[in-house]
Amino acid sequence: AQSVTQPDIHITVSEGASLELRCNYSYGATPYLFWYVQSPGQGLQLLLKYFSGDTLVQGIKGFEAEFKRSQSSFNLRKPSVHWSDAAEYFCAVGTSGGYQKVTFGTGTKLQVIP
């Protein structure tokens, strides 16, 4: 069975600083990997996804993530954080083909200070 670990429950960064959110996954085959963002009181919105090909993927709102198979990681990055990026971020891993079972991590809450 697949699993996802987000080791950081809460992260605080200054506006304009760079950001990296960590995600490690466990899955026997090539995974489908996702990052979702949840603003307060809202549902989850897809930031980016990786299925195959280039291991550096670009997403919306200036986010990117890099798939590293050797480290079983899919860390999310942003060069310069804006106050509007304050939200909770979820990494997820999905199985391939047929019904897609998607397993979510426990989330990282991002606080942005002026």
Partner 1 sequence: NAGVTQTPKFQVLKTGQSMTLQCAQDMNHNSMYWYRQDPGMGLRLIYYSASEGTTDKGEVPNGYNVSRLNKREFSLRLESAAPSQTSVYFCASNMGGGLVNTGELFFGEGSRLTVL
State how far the Cα of 32 lies from the Cα of 24, in Å rounded to an integer.
13
Q: Does 105 bind partner 1 (CB under 8 A)?
A: yes
**Nearest residue (CB) to partner 1, 46 versus 113:** 46
Beta strands in 2-107 (DSSP E): 3-5, 10-14, 19-21, 24-26, 32-38, 44-50, 56-58, 64-68, 73-78, 87-94, 102-104
Torsion of CA 65, 20, 112, 40, to 10 degrees: 50
The token duo for 2 is: 């697949």
x/- mask, partner 1, residues 51-90, rule CB under 8 A, reads x--------------------------------------x
Q: Does 22 bind partner 1 (CB under 8 A)?
A: no
List the interface residues with partner 1, window 32-51 (CB under 8 A): 32, 34, 36, 41-46, 49, 51
Q: Does 111 bind partner 1 (CB under 8 A)?
A: no
Under the rule (CB under 8 A), what is the footprint of partner 1? 4, 9, 32, 34, 36, 41-46, 49, 51, 90, 94, 97-102, 104-107
